Amino acid sequence: MGTPYLIGLDIGTSGVKGIVISQDGKTRASATESYPLSTPKPNWAEQDPEDWWIATTKVLKQLTASIGTRKSDLKAIGLSGQMHSLVILDSESRVLMPSILWCDTRTDRECKWLNDTIGQEDLRNLVANPALEGFTLPKILWVRDHEPDVYDRISKVLLPKDYIRYRLSGEFATEVSDAAGTLMFDVARRKWSEPILSKLSIPSSWLPAVFESVDVCGKVIRPVSDMTGLPEGIPIVGGGADNACGAVGCGVVKEGRVLAGIGTSGVVLAHSAVVRSDPEMRAHTFCHGVPHSWYVMGVILMAGGAFRWYKDTFCRGEIERAEAKGVDVYDLLTQEAETVRPGSDGLFFLPYLNGERTPHRSASARGAFIGATIRHEKRHFSRSVLEGITFAMRDSLEIIKRLGIPLHQIRLTGGGAKSRFWRQLQADVYGREVALVNSMEGPAFGAALMAGVGAGMYADLAEVTEELVAVTETLEPTDRSLVYDEQYQIFSSLYPALSKSFDRIHRHIIQ
């Protein structure tokens, strides 16, 4: 009998990533395929679901080819994917229009209509989250209002990974962590919200059956087996939203552990054993991929993306020097930032380059350097960018802390975890121990672990992550935390002082 293997697939915004892991959690094969993103109008972001499927089949062919004759040892598939994005099918299961993505913000009017029609308090009570442009329900309402002929033909509403599940298995199914981001899901009771569907006249038949993330809810059908080399009948588990799978892959599966991920955006995610929601709905409450648990999550729209913008806009000289030396320009910038005192000698950066989600929930928010003097040099600006991003991440931690969720250890992922300087900066700004773990495969790894639980290879997610996900480094806060506590208080005062001016700037631009 051969070694059992598991597949994790992540249907992301830029492409599909697939991995094969063995029972000991080691990655045995990986593959990625990219696809385009379309922006046909301002604030629009769309993709063709067929592109996801084509990329998925290519990835699966590469994975099965890489393990050769051992493909019969594949035991299960777990799916992860971008949250919120809308896929609608007709009665023949054909895609009716391009998928409206999570980062599409065309639904401002629909969100205002939801707040007026249902009300923010009822939204919090019924679905635990506010009406935001990125969520799925406002996108459905946009189709109703702007594409009535398409709306009248809707037979099924799916999320990206669940469309791939349908193509793999012929089954319409989702799971709780992804469903929780639709604004149609009763997060506390882990089922579709009948009051929301009734109020908005959305047929429940449009929505797929809901499972826990480790439940088997499909099997690979014969045509897909013939096309990809997957064994016919291999089970497909529920899987999870990308953030839930990423948290599982980092071992954030019990209270006291928090994920702080700095990629293009920034995510702060805390495991919760009970349902907790922010009364002001600045952070989100979603179902976790760990059965019968939840997480509270804050999102900042531009984290590493703000650092990249700063590099591309202001650092041509540093880019050329880095190329000449054969080093990473980000390493060069962080080395120069490290020569500046904590607090950047009074220079602050607001990273709100594309509006902000947590805690301000404002499309009008703008980026800014504040406190510049004639004494400030380029290196001060570099450090202030890193500090400003990290202060914005702390905003989410403060909300989580006020909800009574313990914060014992913060596990770092993404670009913000690669630099030791930025790791220590996070420990000092957060005032908590930060840690790195040995898992580097992102959501695909978490999805593969879910598949292993569903296939009976592992007892549960808590047990398997304790066994396979190991801490490789910890950093404690230093006495610089006292400086940063004071600096954070100043940072927190800046957006309220400028918000009315930001609103005026925003109205002027969109006129």
Domain residue extents for the chain: 5-238, 250-436+479-511
Lookup: tokens for 488:
């954070």
Return the axis-axis angle of helices 420-430 and 378-402, rounded to nearest 10°: 50
Q: Which tens digits make up the pLDDT trace of 378-415?
A: 999 999 999 999 999 999 999 999 999 999 999 999 88
472: how many CB neighbours lie within 10 A of its CB?
A: 9
Element containing residue 287 per DSSP (H, E): strand 284-287
Q: With pLDDT > 70 as the criterion, what percentage of the chain qualifies?
A: 99
Asked whether the beta carbons of 212 and 179 are under 8 A apart, the reply is no
Does residue 152 register a pLDDT over 80? Answer: yes
What is the C-alpha separation between 418 and 179, in angstroms, rounded? 32
pLDDT of residue 507: 82
Q: Which tens digits make up the pLDDT trace of 418-427?
A: 999 999 999 9
DSSP, residue by residue, 127-196: HSS---TTSHHHHHHHHHHH-HHHHTT--EEE-HHHHHHHHHHS--EEEHHHHTTTTSEETTTTEE-HHH
pLDDT of residue 3: 82
Q: Which tens digits make up the pLDDT trace of 201-243?
A: 999 999 999 999 999 999 999 999 999 999 999 999 999 999 9
Average confidence (pLDDT) over 280-307: 94
What percent of the chain is helix, strand and coil (3-state, nearest 5)?
Answer: 45, 25, 35
Cα dihedral 12→319→306→252 (10° resolution): 50
Element containing residue 295 per DSSP (H, E): strand 294-300
DSSP, residue by residue, 201-226: T--GGGSPEEE-TTSEEEE--HHHHH
Element containing residue 452 per DSSP (H, E): helix 443-454
Q: Give the residue from 34, 75, 72, 78 showing the smallest Cα distance to 54.
A: 34
**SS3 state of residue 496:** helix
**SS3 state of residue 4:** coil
Does residue 286 register a pLDDT over 60? Answer: yes
Q: With pLDDT > 90 as the criterion, what percentage of the chain qualifies?
A: 90
pLDDT of residue 511: 54
- Is CATH 3.30.420.40 what the domain over 5-238 is classified as, yes or no? yes
pLDDT of residue 508: 80
Strand-pairing partners, residue 414, are: 262
Among 80-84, 200-204, 451-455, 504-508, name the one with the lowest average pLDDT.
504-508
Average confidence (pLDDT) over 140-163: 98
Q: Give the residue from 379, 394, 382, 380 showing the smallest Cα distance to 306.
A: 382
**SS3 state of residue 255:** coil
Element containing residue 54 per DSSP (H, E): helix 49-66
DSSP, residue by residue, 342-410: TTGGG-EEE--BTBB-TTT-BSS---EEES--TT--HHHHHHHHHHHHHHHHHHHHHHHHHTT--EEEE
pLDDT of residue 1: 56
Domains 5-238 and 250-436+479-511 share a fold: yes
Strands 368-370 and 348-350: antiparallel
Element containing residue 99 per DSSP (H, E): strand 99-100
Does residue 509 register a pLDDT over 80? Answer: no
Q: Give the residue from 74, 451, 25 showing the smallest Cα distance to 237.
A: 451
Does residue 70 register a pLDDT over 80? Answer: no
pLDDT of residue 105: 84
Q: Which tens digits make up the pLDDT trace of 126-143?
A: 999 999 988 999 999 999
CA 438 to chain centre: 20
Residue 428 appears among annotated catalytic residues: no
CA 281 to chain centre: 18
pLDDT of residue 510: 58
- Please report, as a single letter, which amino acid is at residue 476: E
Strand-pairing partners, residue 22, are: 5
| Catalytic choice (104, 242, 278, 428) | 242
Strand-pairing partners, residue 159, are: none
Q: Which residue has tokens 């293009």?
A: 264
pLDDT of residue 211: 98
- Side-chain half-sphere exposure of 353, counting CA atoms within 13 A: 18
pLDDT of residue 48: 98
Q: Give the residue from 198, 212, 200 showing the smallest Cα distance to 240.
A: 212
pLDDT of residue 475: 97
Tell me which CATH code domain 250-436+479-511 carries: 3.30.420.40
Average confidence (pLDDT) over 274-291: 94
Q: Which tens digits make up the pLDDT trace of 338-350?
A: 999 999 999 999 9
Split at pLDDT 50, 70, 90, the class of 67 is confident
What is the C-alpha separation between 351 and 387, in angstroms, rounded? 10
